[in-house]
Amino acid sequence: MQRPNWAPESIDIERPSVARMYDYYLGGSHNFAADRAAAQAMVAAVPEAPLMAQANRAFLRRAVQYLTDAGVRQFLDIGSGIPTVGNVHEIAQRNAPESRVVYVDVDPVAVAHSREILDGNEQATVVQEDLRNPRQILAHPEVRRLIDFDQPVAVMVVAVLHFVADDDRPAEILATLREALAPGSHLVLSQASDDGRSEDERAEAERVYRRTDNPLWVRSRAELTALFDGFELIEPGVVWVPEWRPESPDSAEDAERAVFMGGVGRLGG
């Protein structure tokens, strides 16, 4: 297919990208035929796939609202993906204009579009880096330019941990990030869970994502809760994302259909 002008030459548009598949689930336009085919295969295996992306985006919005209300003014969003309506900087800076936001993503399309959207915003930026390289993220000049680690920071790791295998030691990644944070900082996590899913559904979802560069690694509620080590979980703890401080009781009905679990933790001290 013809390469659009927004797609960097370095990317393989014939190979599905998890960021562009997620964009497709959210109704975005920055995806290719290979991404759409893989996303449609995922929907065939797990019909709730678009719902889980939308529910996760709503969780992120509510978490940022909670954090700005709590006085947090610095946000490090790792695995931020392709920008869509409801980005962290939009929510945070609407509630608290002085908020500073750094997006981090490994996908070049996500980074290119973030740069375009953030052009002229002096209090938000994007860097291209992998969550599995936390020390490089923390040391990056653009991160250091906007984030003061002597003050509270909200680290967002939303809808990305299911692409980090146990062999990549996610607990150690999060511990490295935690050690850089001041008391009063927060960790926001969400990821796909296999709680309540059949073995056939899990196997088919994993088969679809093996077509990408990021195979799927689902986790249980107990496993996700353990990743908040060192943080005090904010009520209601680790739950299906529609159940995390819902805007109305109706919005949390059939919450397990969202597939994602998530929570917010606070660093004491």
Question: Is 166 or 182 the better-scoring residue by pLDDT?
Answer: 182
User: Does residue 263 register a pLDDT over 60?
Assistant: yes
65 neighbors 95 (Cβ within 8 angstroms): yes
Least Cα distance to 15 among 92, 109, 87, 83 occurs for 109
Question: Is 117 or 36 the better-scoring residue by pLDDT?
Answer: 36
154 neighbors 185 (Cβ within 8 angstroms): yes
* Confidence grade of residue 3 (pLDDT, cut at 50, 70, 90): low
The CATH code that applies to domain 60-197+217-266 is: 3.40.50.150
Q: Which residues contact 83 (CB under 8 A, 6 or more apart)?
A: 110, 113, 114, 117
* Confidence grade of residue 41 (pLDDT, cut at 50, 70, 90): confident
Least Cα distance to 181 among 141, 137, 121, 124 occurs for 137
Looking at 96-105, 110-119, 145-154, which range is the least confident one? Answer: 110-119
Q: How is residue 179 annotated by DSSP?
A: H
What's the pLDDT tens digit per position in 76-102? 999 998 777 678 999 999 999 999 999
* Confidence grade of residue 137 (pLDDT, cut at 50, 70, 90): very high
Place of tokens 């397990």: 256
* Confidence grade of residue 177 (pLDDT, cut at 50, 70, 90): very high
Residue 166 has a CB neighbour count (10 Å cut-off) of 10
> Using CA atoms, how far apart are residues 44 and 201, in angstroms rounded to an integer?
10
Round the average pLDDT of the chain to a whole number and report it: 87
What integer is the mean pLDDT of 140-169?
95
DSSP string, 130-148: -TT-HHHHHH-HHHHHH--
Least Cα distance to 48 among 259, 208, 267, 193 occurs for 259
Tell me what pLDDT residue 79 has. Answer: 93
- Which tokens is 198 given? 């059949």
Tell me what pLDDT residue 97 has. Answer: 96
What integer is the mean pLDDT of 125-138?
97
* Confidence grade of residue 7 (pLDDT, cut at 50, 70, 90): low
